[in-house]
Structure 1
Amino acid sequence: MLDKSEKFRWLVRLGYFSRAVFYTMLGFIALTNVAQISQGVDGIFEAIEGFPGGTALLWVMALGLLGYALFRFCSPLFDVENEGSDAHGWARRIGHGGSAIGHLVLAWSAYRLASADVSGAGDGAQEAAAGVLSVQLGGLVIGVLGIAFFLAAISQAKKGVSGSFMARIGAGAPEGTRVLGAIGYTARAVVFLVIGWSLVKAGFYSGDAGEVRTLGDAVTSLAGNQIVFQGVALGLLVFGLFSFILARYRIVPDLAPDGRKPRYRA
């Protein structure tokens, strides 16, 4: 039987695989079918559902994206990535928390479509934001989440420039991994900035959940500048390919003996 650490590693790798499928499709659809990308996340998952065995793939992605989100939540909770507890470390850990929330939304969207639960179909992120904004201090929560996305964007950009992500990739990764990662992280930084700004506007200024942008919406909003739009779309496609490499070669921490706090293998 698999021990807890082995199960954890497989769940995280499934998460990276699911992320790879999503971003590859996001970039491909943005480059080939802007009308479908304008439908947001649901449009991307509907395209995946159209593949042979697409519904089964959506179920796998729902589980994988949930696993990836839980892995990212381990960063602010347990500092699984060893970022530290100084201001810089907490900024990165909060950014990971924002990524976790974003991937939870993706997991829910994949599950909803896979289970044919499309009642009240619409933008799930905007519906969730509307619910948060309706409660006391909800605007503050949305605004802080936007700041988390800003921090995540800065982290993505720094990874792309510095290549620091290679420290988490095991030996044997294909040549060109560094270049693919740099392109992909830079494109994601741009998209995260757009999402972060939409959350800050909705939370701190307008109070309008309609301001909130998902990944698909964020890419579509760049269509006014075709050079930027095409560059980001291609970058996201590359990030998807890079994530397939991570699914195989990413160094995943072990769970501690108590089965809770992850730690890196020596």
Structure 2
Amino acid sequence: MATVGTADGEARRAGRQAAGHPLFHRLSRTGLASKGVIYLLIGALAVQIGLGDGGAEADKNGALETVAARPGGTFLLWLLVVGFAGLALWRYAESAYGQPLPGGRKATKRLASLARGVFYTVACLAILAFVLGRGASSSDDQSKEWTARAMEQPGGRWLVLAVGLGLVGWGVGNIVNAARRTFLDKLDTWRMSPRTRTVVTWLGVVGRSARGLVFGTAGIFLAHAAVTFDPGKAKGLDGTLREFARTPAGPWALVAVALGLVVFGAYTFCEARWRKVETTRR
């Protein structure tokens, strides 16, 4: 038993040292920059849709196809794989050692980081599959397929409803936190000049609100699919964005939301520069 305890202690110390290494911090920031690239591209594709080019898919798959079509695209795609792997590892480190924030070691904070780590792991594997030529279906097809499979299982309809309501709550939480500007607690704002802080603040308010609106709306469609027992009503990111063009404001509503996602991508680059990523600091 003592040997097992000693080995466990050594493993935790080794993990703590790895998570506290400057290279690990750089990898985490590379991941944030990679996320920024994806959101910039999704927002740009959605703007194109709003302006009349309906052929592009405004989701992760569309963003990856855009990168692949550029010179050096394969190299850039591998950088995205590494970046999202860094995001996942960073979140797992937070789940193990706590977030570098007041109360960051609470169980709820650690569980949230663990969930994000799993999400980024799935995203990383999806990008890797794309790089290896296995392709991927659109976000709408994936959403409908997942919803249909889930509803076939006992209690699956309630699971879909719970996920949809969870997305709605997460989206609303993003908007509230953006309005309250609590996201600034996660940044080393003391390293910014007053003018830079003002710019970063407004990028965060606009960008995080837009992201919350989009994913909250996606949650509404998913919950509606559960209530009506119709998987076809579920929508992925691309389908959700296109729905904004069907509002009374027309395509300009889609353009406005899409520009908000572009702003969020720009804000994420600010996070790559100033986000607190030192999970083991005290």
TM-score normalised by the chain length of structure 1? 0.79
Which structure 1 residue ranges, 5 or more long, are not aligned? 256-264
2:178 is matched with 160
AA aligned to 2:253 is V
Q: What are the within-5 Å matches in structure 2 for residues 37-52 of structure 1?
A: 37-38=56-57, 40-52=59-71
Larger Rg: 2
Kept in 1: contact 2:91–2:114 (CA 8 A): yes
Q: Kindly indicate whether residue 139 of structure 2 is the aligned counterpart of residue 114 of structure 1.
A: no
Which structure 2 residue ranges, 5 or more long, are not aligned? 1-16
AA aligned to 2:252 is I
Deviation at 1:55, TM superposition (A): 1.9
Kept in 2: contact 1:18–1:64 (CA 8 A): yes
- Of residues 28-37 and 46-55 in structure 1, the stretch that sits farther from structure 2 once superposed is 28-37
1:231 is matched with 256
| Residues 1:252 and 1:59: Cα distance change in structure 2 (over 3 Å) | same
Deviation at 1:93, TM superposition (A): 7.8
Kept in 1: contact 2:94–2:110 (CA 8 A): yes
Kept in 1: contact 2:29–2:273 (CA 8 A): yes
1:21 is matched with 37
Q: Kindly indicate whether residue 230 of structure 2 is the aligned counterpart of residue 205 of structure 1.
A: no
2:20 is matched with 5
AA aligned to 2:44 is F
Deviation at 1:136, TM superposition (A): 2.2
AA aligned to 2:129 is R
Identity of paired residues, percent? 24
Q: Provide, for residues 111-167 of structure 1, a one-character-per-residue CA deviation record: whole Å limited to 9, x for no partner.
A: 22211012x745334333333333222222222222221221122112221111111
- SS class of match (2:216): helix
- Of residues 98-107 and 166-175 in structure 1, the stretch that sits farther from structure 2 once superposed is 98-107
Q: Equivalents in 2 of 1:103, 1:143: separation in Å?
A: 23
Kept in 2: contact 1:98–1:145 (CA 8 A): no
Kept in 2: contact 1:20–1:239 (CA 8 A): yes
Q: Provide, for residues 71-111 of structure 1, a one-character-per-residue CA deviation record: whole Å limited to 9, x for no partner.
A: 556778876363686xxx95x88877776665455434322
Q: Equivalents in 2 of 1:102, 1:215: separation in Å?
A: 15
TM-score normalised by the chain length of structure 2? 0.75
Q: Equivalents in 1 of 2:202, 2:153: separation in Å?
A: 44
Indicate which of 198, 206, 209 corresponds to 1:186. 209
RMSD (Å) for aligned C-alpha atoms: 3.2
Aligned residues: 251
1:258 is matched with none
- Of residues 73-82 and 39-48 in structure 1, the stretch that sits farther from structure 2 once superposed is 73-82
AA aligned to 1:109 is A
1:144 is matched with 162
Q: Provide, for residues 8-50 of structure 1, a one-character-per-residue CA deviation record: whole Å limited to 9, x for no partner.
A: 4334322211110001111111112442444643222111211
2:4 is matched with none
- Of residues 53-62 and 123-132 in structure 1, the stretch that sits farther from structure 2 once superposed is 123-132
Deviation at 1:207, TM superposition (A): 3.5
1:261 is matched with none
Deviation at 1:70, TM superposition (A): 5.5
